[in-house]
Amino acid sequence: MTRIIRQWFLLVTIALSGLLNLGVAQAGDDITGSKDHPMLQRWPQSFITDYSKQFNAVELAVGKKANGDADRQSKEGMLTSIRYFYDQANQPSALQLLRNYQNAIKAINGKVVYERLPRDGDGGEITLQAAVDGKDVWIQVLPEIYSAPTQSYLLNILEIEGMQQVVSANAMLDEMNKTGLVTLYINFDTGKSELKADGKAVIKEIVGMMKLAPQLKIEVGGHTDNVGQPAANKTLSQARAQTVMKAIVDGGIAANRLTAAGYGQEYPIGDNRTEAGKAKNRRVELVKK
């Protein structure tokens, strides 16, 4: 465990002064194979009834729309999902539960991204965010109300690896001259084709490469994994390729030097039976013409 993680663990433990350390006996038995996430502790006298840890996507409220509804986005990464249950009379209120996790994240310079306060029949919801040890960490807390005050709550912790160093324009050009192909991993939200901040940094380097080689013409090819319907994946990959192409043109490169094509899941380079393989298949390829 790195020094940063150790510091985070200590701060969270202090901030959640009401929460229980793992060594203390629980009110019930945790399900087999489950455990607390090392970054956050459970509420006292609660036990785990549902548990999963896998690379997955989760829909998070990241703000509010103009009409007051939650603005929800799908994000993917290593998702730890834990449901805690109470079997004693002294249960926390939904607001008490939310405030404890909010205070814990604020103590490590994290922030509250979204808050929906509890009301009758609704335990509320919070989304928290913090940057720790090179990871973008999102935390969702959902108190579940079956009878007052609460009986359980769902804790989702999504860890997104920090963006990889952007390949430089010179390195891209060297690879293009050697093989005629540059493979890039530009992150898009699930099912969407809008560029994110790290994608814009990649575009800047592509533009730089093409300015270094004024005669170079390329095809921008979009590729996906095999999740979803093939036709939809092809449409999505085409939209992403066109987004990348437009961004390159907006960066000052003549449109007649570029074409865009979407290949969907047709040409995998990784094993779609594994998450690592799927991640390799979600790519953009620049092909020399």
Pairing of strands 218-223, 258-264: parallel
pLDDT of residue 277: 81
Q: Are residues 139 and 275 in the same domain?
A: no
Give SS3 for 160.
Answer: strand
Please give the Cα distance from 286 to 218 (Å, whole number): 6
Backbone angles phi, psi at 55, to 5 degrees: -70, 120
Check which CATH number belongs to the domain holding 262 and give it: 3.30.1330.60
139 close to 105: Cβ distance less than 8 angstroms = yes
Please give the Cα distance from 222 to 188 (Å, whole number): 12
Q: Are residues 7 and 130 in the same domain?
A: yes
Please give the Cα distance from 233 to 230 (Å, whole number): 5
pLDDT of residue 162: 57
Q: Which domain holds residue 278?
A: 169-288
Q: 161, 191, 207 — which closes off a domain?
A: 161
In sign, the C-alpha dihedral spanning 167, 244, 279, 177 is negative
What residues of the chain score a pLDDT lower than 50? 1-7, 9-26, 163
Q: Are residues 7 and 107 in the same domain?
A: yes
Q: 142, 161, 180 — which closes off a domain?
A: 161
Q: Are residues 155 and 177 in the same domain?
A: no
Q: Are residues 182 and 270 in the same domain?
A: yes
Q: Are residues 230 and 248 in the same domain?
A: yes
Q: Are residues 185 and 83 in the same domain?
A: no
Q: Are residues 198 and 149 in the same domain?
A: no
pLDDT of residue 22: 35
| Count of the separate structural domains present in the chain | 2
pLDDT of residue 284: 96
Q: Are residues 59 and 130 in the same domain?
A: yes
Q: What is the pTM of this model?
A: 0.53
> Which residues does 139 contact at the CB level (< 8 Å), separation at least 6?
40, 101, 105, 127, 128, 129, 130, 155, 156, 157, 158
Q: 99, 126, 161 — which closes off a domain?
A: 161
**What is the amino acid identity at position 153?**
Y
